[in-house]
């Protein structure tokens, strides 16, 4: 089977599902007309994920012998790979090096995974503008994360079974408003909604890498550059709870659904601990080994 990636891109004002093969993008709907003319068409990657059990074999056939006209990758305008995930589950403080920069020495045996939910309405794709709502915060921060994309309904998974529910992986920038993490006007202490969910606060992409393309998700380098200066430089080996452990934990609380996204935590090097925050005019580049590069310019929300 040839290597492939799944993406969404713009064509004549429409968002189309695509499959990337050897630096060329093929329209997935056109490919289905060639390889599966009697099958229901996939109008988006969301519908591919909803039918992942059947889609896998078709995608393998397409990757081995694409039959439609290709567009060179450098001529493609990307869009967010998933339009409307059911949920974005986010792991908090899940890297040892990030916990240390916060002043915490974590003893894994003493804790359980900690999650919050980020709104799926704030996703944008690679190359799209991060439009900072400057009225909302003065301390916008970056967080590179490996995101696991669910491909089949799953519940009560063991750690050994956990990765079997995945379709693939992508990159997510879990943008954060650091001055909203604490609330003094309410007795609850923290405010994860205002901290994590605001306009364009979930850049995602550039594509979905099928899970079988990644030999070991726990040994991937993760790097972030702000205006060309490296800020985060770590590895998923620093995760406190592995991807499999996180999936198993969530699946015992609720049923994971196709298209759900699990953002697995960030490494050291976020802006809060150097007093450096995002501003209009900045450029963000994030790279995870095997998953591609996510880039976004920073602007202000009009």
Q: What is residue 302's predicted lDDT score, i.e. its pLDDT?
A: 77
Q: What is residue 137's predicted lDDT score, i.e. its pLDDT?
A: 96
Q: How confident is the model at residue 122 (pLDDT cuts 50, 70, 90)?
A: very high
Mean pLDDT value across residues 240-244:
98
pLDDT tens per residue across span 157-173: 999 999 999 999 999 99
pLDDT tens per residue across span 171-213: 999 999 999 998 888 888 889 999 999 999 999 999 999 999 9
What are the helix (H) ranges across the chain?
Answer: 28-35, 45-50, 52-64, 96-101, 192-196, 243-251
Is pLDDT at 64 greater than 80 in this prediction?
yes
Mean pLDDT value across residues 21-43:
93
> How many Å apart are CA 86 and CA 261, to the nearest integer?
8
Q: How confident is the model at residue 285 (pLDDT cuts 50, 70, 90)?
A: very high
> How many Å apart are CA 288 and CA 86, to the nearest integer?
24
> How many Å apart are CA 226 and CA 229, to the nearest integer?
5
Mean pLDDT value across residues 125-130:
98
Q: How confident is the model at residue 39 (pLDDT cuts 50, 70, 90)?
A: confident
Is pLDDT at 1 greater than 80 in this prediction?
no
Structural domains for the chain: 5-79 (no CATH), 88-300 (3.90.850.10)
In percent, how much of the chain has pLDDT > 90?
91
Q: How far apart are the first and last CA of the chain?
A: 46
């Amino acid at each position: 089977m040839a290597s492939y990636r799944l993406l969404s891109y713009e064509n004549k004002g429409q968002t189309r599902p695509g499959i990337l093969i050897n630096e060329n993008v093929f329209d997935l709907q056109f490919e289905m007309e060639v390889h599966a003319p009697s099958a229901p068409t996939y109008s988006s990657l969301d519908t591919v994920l909803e039918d992942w059990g059947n889609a896998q074999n078709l995608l393998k056939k397409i990757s081995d012998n694409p039959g439609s006209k290709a567009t060179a990758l450098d001529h493609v305008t990307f869009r967010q790979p998933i339009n409307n995930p059911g949920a974005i589950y986010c792991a908090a403080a899940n890297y040892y090096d990030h916990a240390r920069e916060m002043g915490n020495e974590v003893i894994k045996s003493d804790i359980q995974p900690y999650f919050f939910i980020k709104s799926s309405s704030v996703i944008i794709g690679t190359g799209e503008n991060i439009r900072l709502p400057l009225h909302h915060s003065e301390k916008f921060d970056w967080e590179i994360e490996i995101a696991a994309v669910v491909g089949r309904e799953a519940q009560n998974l063991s750690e050994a079974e956990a990765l079997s529910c995945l379709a693939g992986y992508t990159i997510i920038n879990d943008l954060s408003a650091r001055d909203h993490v604490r609330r003094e006007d309410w007795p609850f202490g923290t405010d994860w909604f205002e901290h994590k969910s605001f306009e364009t606060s979930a850049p995602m992409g550039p594509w979905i890498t099928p899970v079988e393309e990644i030999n070991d998700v726990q040994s991937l380098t993760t790097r972030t550059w702000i205006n060309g200066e490296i800020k985060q430089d770590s590895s998923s080996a620093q995760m406190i709870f592995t991807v499999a452990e996180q999936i198993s934990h969530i699946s015992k609380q609720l049923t994971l659904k196709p298209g759900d996204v699990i953002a697995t935590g960030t490494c050291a090097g976020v802006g809060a601990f150097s007093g450096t925050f995002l501003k209009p005019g900045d450029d963000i580049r994030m790279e995870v080994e095997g998953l591609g590069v996510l880039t976004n310019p920073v602007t202000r929300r009009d």
